[in-house]
Structure 1
Amino acid sequence: MPTHTAYPGVYVEELPSSIRSITTVTTSVTAFVGHTRRGPLNHPVRITSFADFERRFGGLTSRSPVAYAVHQFFGNGGTVAVIVRVARAGTGKEAQVTLESTEGHSECPVLEVHAKEPGIWGDGLRVAVDHDTPCPDETFDLQVLDAHGSARESFSGLSMDPGDGRYAETVINAGSALIRVAVVGEGRPDPSGTVSKAFHRELPDLNVELTVKIGEVEREFTLYDPDCDGPAPCDVTELALLLEHKLRSLPDAPGKHAFAGTQVTAFGRRIQVVAGSTDPDDVVRFLGECANDLGLEASVNPPVFALCGGEDGDPPGPRDIIGSEARKSGLQALRDVPDVNLLALPELASYESTDDIVTVLSAAERLCTERRMFLLADAPAAWGSVDAARAGIGAFDPVRGNHSALYFPHLQLTDPLTGRLRSFPPCGAIAGVIARTDGERGVWKAPAGTEARLAGVHALTVKLTDRENGLLNPLGINCLRTFPMVGPLVWGARTLAGADALDSEWKYVPVRRLALHVEESLLRGLQWVVFEPNNEQLWQQIRLNASAYLHSLFEKGAFKGGTPRQAYFVKCDKDTTTEADIENGIVNVVVGIAPVKPAEFVIVKIQQLAGQFDL
């Protein structure tokens, strides 16, 4: 605020800077679109490690080229990925189980539990229910377990009343990453395991012989022996502790944990007995007249309710990968995702029809052009030789855009699932190399050369010679090579528009990607210009801010030229913005850059000297 001058002297006033800094955007966030074991369909999910991928999408599976591509991406230096799971339309089914209630003295379904996402992964989920809440006659707890009995999620104090703040459908559907539920009836779901009738305040005679059966194993024991068990239980909680101790001391069947892991919980005036097993057949049953007198068979259920019926969706076809812009499915799900720079479609390499590949690549190229992304295309798996590549590249003429690059041949790596060598499309590893190069050198450095080593790669499906490389490079095919002492690496950095015959100004990958990086950074960094007065003062600020940003790139080596004047320029004045533009609310900014092109051909001339020289 302005300084109020009240006396003679020196005043200090801090003024805000007129420079609005333009922040550089990301360069190597890679989107993978295709089939995975699990995960939300057509919903982009950002991950930062392969462990994230395993937790969210189920890890490696032989049916998922995306899973292997993501594994290779992080193995080669990738840091951030966006995954879009796609399945063939009309396939895939969620695992589910319906919980019933007997509180109305007749069994009726009350709560449907579904796996959050389609797939057989949901068959490994288990649900446990208890009424051990502060209001045991009205609310319930629900736990989600895995097949080994480990707790994954827990929800307490749930209500079946839609007007309650802990309404089960609202709380679980909003908070669970594993399941969703639907209330389909009145009443609460029955608890897991065996639940007794309500005991009176004075407990009955507990010095009785009981027979318990879990699964196929039957055991007998004395519930309370005054000579061995000390003072008799005084309330339901002490009775639950005694019964749990007795059951856990009974011998189990070989390899089982049903008796040893038994849990007995007291809630209200009742007790709940659950076998220490996730096998739905391990139901706890108390047999005989004494058990009936104690009310130990009021409700008998499995120890857990197992979800079942999940089905994996079939691998997606070309239409599924392309998706629908209206439904935001497939590739179109990436339209609303910021900071995606690279796109990988490892599913395409296995397509038998080149027409299908070209159809998907055409849609992907359009998306990349609109969203300023760069597409990493794999050579078809059918290209098993240099001649096949030379014969097949003509089919890619309709998609020879400058927002994509094609890599050949495929990689041979050890499959972590089988321990055997297997061929994989290279796009995941290439994306990792690009991310590593961007981090170490910058987006203007060609992701190729001896620094662009392919980690974990044993060999390539086609071993190329210099002569064969020389046949493919002019066609715009980026070759992967193996060199002594270095190993497999990337040995090409041309866009699909970079064939010699096309003579494109966007011939090289780093030039195209640097321009995209500058465009996106300026687009975001100049948002403040909107609605500002369109005059010389605004133009001066634009020139200052844009020049400061470009100069930072110049100092890092992004542009060629010995001086800033030779490396870049920013023009925004009355020559670029006319009176007519001002009347229409338009300001025009012209930016020019001189990117460093890669040195593809290094010629070393050696001259033989005649005569001898004295040292």
Structure 2
Amino acid sequence: MPIRPTYPGVYVEEIPSGVHPIVGVSTSVAAFVDFFPRGPINKATQITNFGDFQRIFGGLDKRSEASYAIQQFYLNGGQLAWVVRVNSDKMKMVSASYTLGSTLKVTAANPGTWAGGSSGNSPNSVQVAIDKNTPDPSDQFNLAVREVATVNGKKKVVSSEIYRNLTMTKNNARYAVNVVNASSALIALTDLNTGTGSVELPSRTSTTIEDVIASSVVNDSATDAYKSLTGGDDGDLFDSDGQLKSDRFTIFSEALTGDQKENTGIYALDNIAPFHFNILCIPATANLGNEDYLSTYKKAIPFCEDKRAVVLVDIPTIIDTVEKLMDSNFQGTLDQLRINPNAATYFPRLHIADPLNENRPRNVGPSGTLAGIYARTDATRGVWKAPAGTDAALVGADLPLKLTDQVNGNLNSLGINVLRNFPIFSTVSWGARTLDGADMKASEWKYIPVRRTALFIEQSLYEGLKWVVFEPNAEPLWAQIRLNVSAFMQSLFRQGAFQGQSRKDAYLVKCDSETTTQNDINNGIVNIVVGFAPLKPAEFVIIQLQQMAGQIQV
């Protein structure tokens, strides 16, 4: 506001600079959607390392393709990831439970056998104990919760929770249901009191041990003071060998894609705002039948286009030779997935050492490994550098199939990226095309780094220009927009993100009366034109060699 002088003297006025710095968004946050043995249901959970994944979702599991993909993601340079554990009524997963008398029902925080199976002799279980060692035993009790797991053949307490001086009086600050349900990662309580006025406390779980919350008792896995939850079930999707049953393909596919209205499956990622993800991996689709494989990716690819992310499409498990890959039926399947340029695929699948099977090779999809390479390349070189070449070495993975240059060329022309093994450089990513990058399509989004750079700029401008909304739509606003967007693009140019020797050759930012007409102003619209000259990878290196004739001297 202008200063209104009221007395003789010196006045100081601060003038806004119009600077609203635009910060580049992250480019390599991965999202994994699959079955996991434990963890929150249909809720995207952020993890920062594989230890987080083990603690929250149970670690490696032979039924979960994504558990191995997440391990590979972090081995190859990944940093941030979102994990969604899917479930549906048709999957028939059940939470373990235990009833403390007629007062409290204890239910595992989420379904599965991790908290206790159908029999009381489960290798892993959640256990609870009650004592009355409180200031007022007639109205208060202590609750101890612990998780017991089998580690190296021995049962061990791996985590515990203690809740002191709880009560069953609903209007009390220490009401057991409210206190436990608000903070426990292991259980949830249900009050079984009838509400007739009389409040019954749960009985002690041990007649011989008065203090069940003492550390010596809590950490004693053999004590009988603790009662195990039972009845947990992982559903009936998988057989005893951990293989997905063929008659459950459609059920699992529907669980993976989920329901947009209920924010389940992949749509659980809608709830992570203001955060976002850049790379989606659904490796379990490789085990589905062809129709369900197509159905899953046909929903995932448009979803990622809306989120300005890319999908790494895993080749089906049964496609293990070049002949099967080039079969017209499977090529027809891939053609149906060329919906937009926000997808890429790699061949062949990978072999990794499986710790759950004495480190024997396990066939896995490459999506998790490549997501890690994307993250590593972004961190060291920038999103505009192709995640391929001799620097893009695959850590902890080997190839079951060695491909020749001729086969590489044939697949490259179809937009299928190839994984190769070279002496010295070992196993590397040797392709940088989107699924839209087949030669016959002549797409402007042929290359992965070009597409991902555009998505990066779009998302950064989308988040960095929200201050523009409801500002007066006139030249002062347009000048501020040009100033801030140009500063952002110039910073990328100085990092080497664009072609050209000068900024005029590298990018343009236009926002004036030519882009925003009076009719646009009347309709509340401001148009901003941003262009950039992308860096495209040197896919073919041609060396011309000529023999020089000897000089004749006279």
Q: In 2, distance between residues paired with 1:403 and 1:436? A: 20
What amino acid maps onto 2:460 in structure 1? S
Give yes or no for the alignment of 1:395 onto 2:333.
Answer: yes
| CA distance 1:305–1:556, shift in 2 (3 Å) | same
Name 2:458's counterpart in structure 1: 519
Structure 2, unaligned runs of 5 or more? 117-124, 149-155, 194-198, 238-250
CA deviations on 1:534-588 (whole Å, 9 max, x unpaired) are: 0011111111111100110010111101110111101111111111111111111
The 8 Å contact of residues 275 and 303 in structure 1, kept in 2 or not, is answered as: no
Q: In 1, distance between residues paired with 2:410 and 2:218? A: 69
Q: In 2, distance between residues paired with 1:183 and 1:310? A: 20
Give yes or no for the alignment of 1:379 onto 2:392.
Answer: no
Give yes or no for the alignment of 1:120 onto 2:113.
Answer: yes
Of 133, 158, 176, the match for 2:184: 176
Give yes or no for the alignment of 1:84 onto 2:84.
Answer: yes
Name 2:71's counterpart in structure 1: 71
Give yes or no for the alignment of 1:585 onto 2:524.
Answer: yes
What amino acid maps onto 2:180 in structure 1? I
CA deviations on 1:201-256 (whole Å, 9 max, x unpaired) are: xxxxxxxxxxxxxxxxxxxxxxxxxxxxxxxxxxxxxxxxxxxxxxxxxxxxxxxx
Q: In 1, distance between residues paired with 2:230 and 2:519? A: 68
Q: In 1, distance between residues paired with 2:159 and 2:381? A: 45
The more displaced of 86-95 and 599-608 is 86-95
Q: In 2, distance between residues paired with 1:141 and 1:609? A: 92
Give yes or no for the alignment of 1:362 onto 2:298.
Answer: yes
| CA distance 1:521–1:149, shift in 2 (3 Å) | closer
Give yes or no for the alignment of 1:193 onto 2:184.
Answer: no
Of 270, 286, 306, the match for 1:335: 270
Q: In 2, distance between residues paired with 1:406 and 1:576? A: 38
* Residues 112-511 of structure 1 aligned to structure 2 (within 5 Å): 112-123=105-116, 124-147=125-148, 148-149=156-157, 152-185=160-193, 186-194=199-207, 264-265=210-211, 277-279=220-222, 302-315=224-237, 317-337=252-272, 338-351=275-288, 353-391=289-327, 392-400=330-338, 401-418=340-357, 419-457=359-397, 459-511=398-450
Shift in Å, 1:473? 0.4
Q: In 1, distance between residues paired with 2:474 and 2:487? A: 20
Q: In 2, distance between residues paired with 1:57 and 1:539? A: 49
TM-score calculated relative to the size of structure 2 = 0.88
The 8 Å contact of residues 420 and 427 in structure 2, kept in 1 or not, is answered as: yes
SS in 2 for 1:407: strand
Q: In 1, distance between residues paired with 2:21 and 2:446? A: 31
CA deviations on 1:400-450 (whole Å, 9 max, x unpaired) are: 020000111111111122211111110000000000000000000000000
Name 1:217's counterpart in structure 2: none
The 8 Å contact of residues 193 and 274 in structure 1, kept in 2 or not, is answered as: no
CA deviations on 1:60-118 (whole Å, 9 max, x unpaired) are: 01111010000000000000000000135331111110001xxxxxxxx1100000000
Q: In 2, distance between residues paired with 1:591 and 1:115? A: 52
SS in 1 for 2:61: coil
Q: In 2, distance between residues paired with 1:501 and 1:93? A: 50
Shift in Å, 1:317? 1.5
The 8 Å contact of residues 264 and 274 in structure 1, kept in 2 or not, is answered as: no
The 8 Å contact of residues 169 and 175 in structure 2, kept in 1 or not, is answered as: yes
Structure 1, unaligned runs of 5 or more? 101-108, 196-262, 268-272, 283-301
What amino acid maps onto 2:56 in structure 1? R
| CA distance 1:97–1:49, shift in 2 (3 Å) | same
Q: In 2, distance between residues paired with 1:363 and 1:346? A: 15
| CA distance 1:187–1:388, shift in 2 (3 Å) | same
What amino acid maps onto 1:329 in structure 2? T
Shift in Å, 1:336? 2.6
* Residues 30-109 of structure 1 aligned to structure 2 (within 5 Å): 30-90=30-90, 91-100=92-101, 109=102
Q: In 2, distance between residues paired with 1:87 and 1:411? A: 27
Shift in Å, 1:275? 10
SS in 2 for 1:603: coil
The 8 Å contact of residues 144 and 212 in structure 2, kept in 1 or not, is answered as: no
What amino acid maps onto 2:257 in structure 1? I
What amino acid maps onto 1:519 in structure 2? E
Q: In 2, distance between residues paired with 1:266 and 1:47? A: 33
What amino acid maps onto 1:322 in structure 2? T
Name 2:248's counterpart in structure 1: none
Q: In 1, distance between residues paired with 2:455 and 2:211? A: 62
Shift in Å, 1:326? 1.1
| CA distance 1:89–1:396, shift in 2 (3 Å) | farther
| CA distance 1:276–1:554, shift in 2 (3 Å) | closer
CA deviations on 1:388-411 (whole Å, 9 max, x unpaired) are: 111222212121020000111111
The more displaced of 313-322 and 369-378 is 313-322
Q: In 1, distance between residues paired with 2:218 and 2:461? A: 63
Shift in Å, 1:146? 2.1
| CA distance 1:548–1:314, shift in 2 (3 Å) | farther
| CA distance 1:542–1:94, shift in 2 (3 Å) | same
The 8 Å contact of residues 149 and 277 in structure 1, kept in 2 or not, is answered as: yes
What amino acid maps onto 1:192 in structure 2? T
| CA distance 1:386–1:265, shift in 2 (3 Å) | closer
| CA distance 1:22–1:500, shift in 2 (3 Å) | same
The 8 Å contact of residues 131 and 212 in structure 2, kept in 1 or not, is answered as: no
| CA distance 1:13–1:612, shift in 2 (3 Å) | farther
What amino acid maps onto 2:24 in structure 1? T
| CA distance 1:471–1:582, shift in 2 (3 Å) | same
Q: In 1, distance between residues paired with 2:218 and 2:372? A: 48
Shift in Å, 1:387? 1.8
Of 558, 562, 568, the match for 2:507: 568
The 8 Å contact of residues 108 and 115 in structure 2, kept in 1 or not, is answered as: yes
Structure of greater Rg = 1
SS in 1 for 2:436: coil
Q: In 1, distance between residues paired with 2:68 and 2:438? A: 30
Q: In 1, distance between residues paired with 2:425 and 2:139? A: 69
Aligned pairs, number = 511
What amino acid maps onto 2:113 in structure 1? I
The 8 Å contact of residues 87 and 313 in structure 1, kept in 2 or not, is answered as: no
What amino acid maps onto 2:191 in structure 1? V
The 8 Å contact of residues 277 and 303 in structure 1, kept in 2 or not, is answered as: no
What amino acid maps onto 2:163 in structure 1? F
TM-score calculated relative to the size of structure 1 = 0.80
The more displaced of 35-44 and 353-362 is 353-362
| CA distance 1:153–1:476, shift in 2 (3 Å) | same
Q: In 2, distance between residues paired with 1:40 and 1:158? A: 26
Shift in Å, 1:610? 2.2
Q: In 2, distance between residues paired with 1:92 and 1:523? A: 40
| CA distance 1:451–1:144, shift in 2 (3 Å) | same
Name 1:289's counterpart in structure 2: none
